[in-house]
Amino acid sequence: MLLCHYMNGQKLLVLSDTHGNSPFLEAVLRWACGDTFDAAIFLGDGIEDLRRAAALTGFFGEWKIVRGNNDYAISVPEAAVIECGGHRFFLCHGHRYALYNGNDRLIAAARKMEADTALFGHIHVPSLENEDGLVLINPGSIGRPRSTIGSTFAVIDCPPGKPLNVRFWKIDPPGTIVELTRR
């Protein structure tokens, strides 16, 4: 099932792959309480972590959630489309798109939904790419990172009529949030 949501807001918190790492998720949500987000997006693998972490931290913003290959919440869709700041986002975990063999299937699915941006998880590595005008964003993993950077998430500003501003953040033990510098 594919859901489509339209949002008037412009700032998104993007998380994925907590895999039970509640302390880091709670650190991110505490940090997020100090800012204004129009929505929080969770790209799967750890849906069960969200409710408890939100209750402990007081983060009760609007959530857009898709399930991953380690989520068993049948009522949560595997993919969704949202619009924010004039941008159309295709959301998925990524496990259905053979990401370890390239992004072709993900790109085809996002283009089929007329998205200009695809948000995905699954590979646990933060990335920002542009494939012929389609922006591909992976926030990395909060719970089981597979990069030397460590646990990460993303914040996306979506100003109407302007390019997206994507920033990646790192969670250092014991839960300190640090913005990653761009190269």
CATH, residue 157: 3.60.21.10
Inform me whether the pLDDT recorded for 7 exceeds 60.
Answer: no
178 domain residue, yes or no: no
92 domain residue, yes or no: yes
115 domain residue, yes or no: yes
Q: Which domain holds residue 55?
A: 7-170
141 domain residue, yes or no: yes
2 domain residue, yes or no: no
Secondary structure letter of residue 39 according to DSSP: E
> What is the tally of structural domains in the chain?
1
Inform me whether the pLDDT recorded for 16 exceeds 70.
Answer: yes
68 domain residue, yes or no: yes
What's the mean pLDDT when you consider all of the chain? 90
1 domain residue, yes or no: no
The count of other CB atoms within 10 Å of the CB of residue 12 is 26
- Quote the pLDDT of residue 182: 66
The larger pLDDT score, comparing residue 34 to residue 126, is at: 126
Ramachandran class of 55: left when φ > 0, alpha when ψ lies in -120 to 50, beta otherwise: alpha
* pLDDT tens track for 95-118: 988 788 888 899 999 999 999 999
* pLDDT tens track for 50-104: 989 999 999 988 899 999 999 987 899 999 999 998 999 999 999 988 788 888 8
182 domain residue, yes or no: no
pTM (predicted TM-score): 0.93
